[in-house]
Chains A and B, each alone.
Chain A
Amino acid sequence: MLVDALASETYRLLRNRMTVFWSVVFVPLMFAVGGVIYHLVNKNQGDAAAAAAGLPTTGAGSPLNLAEFLTFGANQIANGALMTFMLIAAATVYAGDYRWETWRLISARNSRTALILGKVGTMKLLALAASVAMLIAAFVYYLAQALVFERPPTFSLGAAEAGDAALIWLLSFVRLVQYGLIALLTAVLTRSLLAALFVPWALGFGQSILGAPPVMMLLKLHPDGWPAQLLMPGLAYDTLKNLVSPGAARVMSTEAALWPALASLALWCVVPLGLALLLFRRQDLSKE
């Protein structure tokens, strides 16, 4: 039953090409194109400055390790732009049946639990596709850097770097799914596509304000403490990402925040999904 729901939901989403484009392709494409332009402009400005100073223009630079794109790309997956555009897909998948009045068509063909879990599974696949697209965009960014600045490309990936990149990717993937689950709960509660789009977005935006150090100080919240972490899943994500990131970012969060952050990330996935399932199983689907 769940396999049927997943196959059906994925089939339907893939027919909706506009949604797939905006949620999966658009931001990575802009990122890749923007990256190429950024490198070209930088190169031109560098060359112009060098020419003005009577220095030789930049020639072949130091080798560039293309494998770094993995960590760089994984760090970009849960950025504000991609998450905002992913919400378009989340709202369409989770609230589309209310908008198009199609629950009555499909609810007689599968169990309500399978229908919801099929949608969640489809969103996971979409988040996976978006994260892969973002990694590809990051690779293009690095490759363009190597080509524009004439830096010989190398590829060296140690186990530690691969592990760091994988953990950051996993955290970012969970963050995307979690954001979608908030859209799911909103869709079931409000039966509105617009609400499913804007409520999670407003929640994310609100957190970015709440999470600012002056506001945290004003609210007497310690960023590593349980209340702040549980209240703000975005902060929990940042904390965990800092803890697994190599270099300077690792010292930005303390180990004391690990468990509150993990609990927050899990809670903000389980609670919206559980509540949505509970409500949906008893919902009157004749009113859409």
Chain B
Amino acid sequence: MTAVIETRGLTKTYGAVRALDGLDLTIPRGGVYGVLGPNGAGKSTLFRILLGLIRPTTGEARVMGGPVNEVSHMRRMGSMIETPRFPPYMTARQVLRWLALEHGIGRSTDIPHWLQRVGLTEAADRRVRGFSVGMMQRLGVAAALMSRPELVILDEPTSGMDPPGIQEMRALIRSLATDDGVTVVLASHQLLEVQRVCDRVAILDKGRLVREGAVSELTAIGERLRLSAGPVERVLEVLGANGSRDGDAVLADVSRAEGPALIRALVERGVDIHEARWVGADLESIFFTETGAVQAPETIHAG
């Protein structure tokens, strides 16, 4: 597994605050990688170090096999950190031309293509001073992608976007990874989005790595068989301590290997099975478990 990003003992302190605390992280080449964590977990600090905006207090970070701040490596990556800002007197097209010149790709960049890809064709010649946050985000993403980088780092890429925009951005990120072979590393607070778009995730808390792995593996932990079957009492009787109610259905705490035998046993006991499907833990519950963050109640009762 080739790594595009490697950190060893990465620590960054701001006075008494430890934003990163000996972080060891390896991000493999290919796919979409999510970096999750509550506010203050160290995500933005990590990204800022990787982009050479700040220096670590101790430890080492390598990007594309080389140290950060080495221009030849940096130019193989694109980035967008937080909501990007641009000189307000420039149009979207001029912003991309300006950044392409800085990147050394002034003549070879197909700016109309990138404007179209992020949905800014109609706003191409408008000054960015009138852009909404979502439009700034789109322009920031186009700026990150137009050099056709091997690695893209995106901090909250869907922040400030409306639902159709979020959907478009999700599709764009997935197509970058699958069609263009770009490694995308992103941070987001929208856990459902991360679960939908990422192949692997790292969960940070208080500057440390608390969980890392493929989304499919993480959500498979605690996987249960959800049975819509009746009578429910008989199903629960068969399952004993391994069964629990979930509305009108029953959740069976069994492994995939045990699944077929359980179905057979239920049918033999005269249970009618309407639906059986495997359900995993979602990223949100894993996130709250690992970080100890307090989950907001789903229902707010009046009075």
Which A residues are closer than 8 A to B by beta carbons? Answer: 1, 4-5, 7-8, 11-12, 15-18, 96, 100-111, 114, 282, 284-286
Contact = CB atoms under 8 A, between A and B. Distances in A.
Contacts of A114: 71
Interface stretch (B78-86, B177-185, B258-266): B78-86
Given A11-B97, A100-B85, A102-B87, A4 B104 contact: yes
Given A11-B98, A284-B53, A109 B87 contact: no
Contacts of B99: 8, 105-106, 109
Given A1-B71, A4-B102, A15-B94, A108 B52 contact: yes
Closest 8 CB pairs of A and B: A8-B101, A8-B102, A101-B85, A4-B104, A109-B103, A286-B53, A286-B48, A285-B53
A15 B53 contact: no
A105 B82 CA distance: 11
Contacts of B48: 286
A105 B155 CA distance: 13
Contact of A100 (B51, B55, B87, B94): B87
B66 to A, nearest CB: 14
Interface string B30-63: 0000000000000010001001111100000000
A282 B103 CA distance: 21
A108 B94 contact: no
Contacts of A17: 89
B102 A104 contact: no
Contacts of A103: 53
Given A109-B75, A284-B54, A4 B101 contact: yes
Contacts, number: 87
Given A4-B103, A12-B90, 12 more contacts: A4-B102, A4-B106, A101-B85, A102-B87, A106-B102, A109-B104, A110-B102, A110-B103, A111-B71, A114-B71, A284-B53, A284-B54
B92 interface: no
A116 to B, nearest CB: 13
Nearest to B98: A12
A12 B86 CA distance: 11
B85 A108 contact: no
A104 B104 contact: no
Contacts of A5: 102
Interface in B101-142: 101-104, 106, 140
B13 to A, nearest CB: 13
B101 A108 contact: no
Contacts of A104: 51, 53, 79, 81, 84
Interface in B239-271: none
Contacts of A105: 84-86, 99, 140, 143
B88 A100 contact: yes
A248 to B, nearest CB: 46
B203 interface: no
